[in-house]
Amino acid sequence: MINKRYFDQDTKTNLTWLIDTREHCSNGELYWSKTKTCVKAQDKKKLCGENSGQELLTNVFGEGECMCTRDPLRVRINRDTTKRCYPLYTQGPCGEGQIVGYLEKFDQVLCIPDYCYEESLYRRKNKLIGKDSILAPSENGTCYELGTRGPCFEGFTFKVHSSHMKPECVSLTNSLFELDKDQNCFEDEQGKCQIQVKFNKSETAENYKKELYKRFIGSRKRRNVYP
């Protein structure tokens, strides 16, 4: 979350670190504050640790930040101090009979009862699904395996939608389109290629502040389930 002081106090004082650190990154690179270096987009999946459930995405400042992966969709549980990322509809750190789920009413990710728990036990016991298969409820309450056609029409797959955080029939065409993104694309948490805010010494800090604020407002319009 952006501290309000970045926009209400002295611009020169609060934005100097952003201006100075970004000037030396070339096209196709992104400044990563963790290492204070410029990194390439094609390395973004390995920079955050292969087993962390995270990847380098673009934050509201246009800088690199390790966030939960989108495919498969992983999330952080609210109030979880470990900040680890877990796939939705899996047990994760939750107790028996619970899963990591999104509660739209509270706009939070929490441990919730697993609606498909008994069905999952039955199918695994009878070897109807694999040990790593995940069942999730459709709109009509029937449990289907994620990543399969499930209740969907041909050309669609049953998976957790990255924006709605619920299982839906998602077009395979859209999934294939994701593979065609430019390798220098720095994505935000929604998978969109971010247009980086550039700052030239000839520009005023006030203009740069306005661009950052515009990006901040845009990010607040998107659902944010992270603590």
Q: Is residue 112 predicted with pLDDT exceeding 80?
A: yes
**What is the Cβ-side half-sphere exposure of residue 176, based on CA atoms within 13 angstroms?**
6
**Count of beta carbons in the 10 Å neighbourhood of residue 43:** 11
CA distances from 74 to 11, 81, 98, 150, 183 (A): 36, 16, 16, 21, 22
Question: What does residue 17 show for φ and ψ, rounded to 5 degrees?
Answer: -65, -35
Q: Is 206 among the domain residues?
A: yes
End-to-end CA gap in the chain:
9
The two beta strands, 143-145 and 156-160, are unpaired
pLDDT reported for residue 226: 41
Q: pLDDT per residue over 25-72, tens digit each?
A: 777 777 887 788 888 877 776 788 777 788 888 777 777 888 888 777
Greatest alpha-carbon pair distance for the chain in Å reads 69
Token couple for 142: 């029937």
Q: Which residue from 99, 60, 92, 87 is spatially nearest to 214, judged by alpha carbons?
A: 60
Q: Is 156 among the domain residues?
A: no
Q: pLDDT per residue over 178-203, tens digit each?
A: 444 444 455 554 455 555 544 444 45
Cα(195)–Cα(98) distance, rounded to whole angstroms? 39
∠ CA 170-67-116, rounded to 5° = 45
Q: Is 167 among the domain residues?
A: no
Q: Is 213 among the domain residues?
A: yes
Q: pLDDT per residue over 117-156, tens digit each?
A: 999 999 999 999 998 899 999 998 999 999 999 999 998 9
Q: Is 97 among the domain residues?
A: no
Confidence of residue 79 (pLDDT cuts 50, 70, 90): confident
Are the C-beta atoms of 88 and 75 separated by less than 8 Å? Answer: yes
Q: Is 44 among the domain residues?
A: yes
Q: Is 21 among the domain residues?
A: yes
Cα(186)–Cα(184) distance, rounded to whole angstroms? 6
Structural domain range at position 41: 5-70+182-220
How many domains does the structure of the chain reveal?
Answer: 1
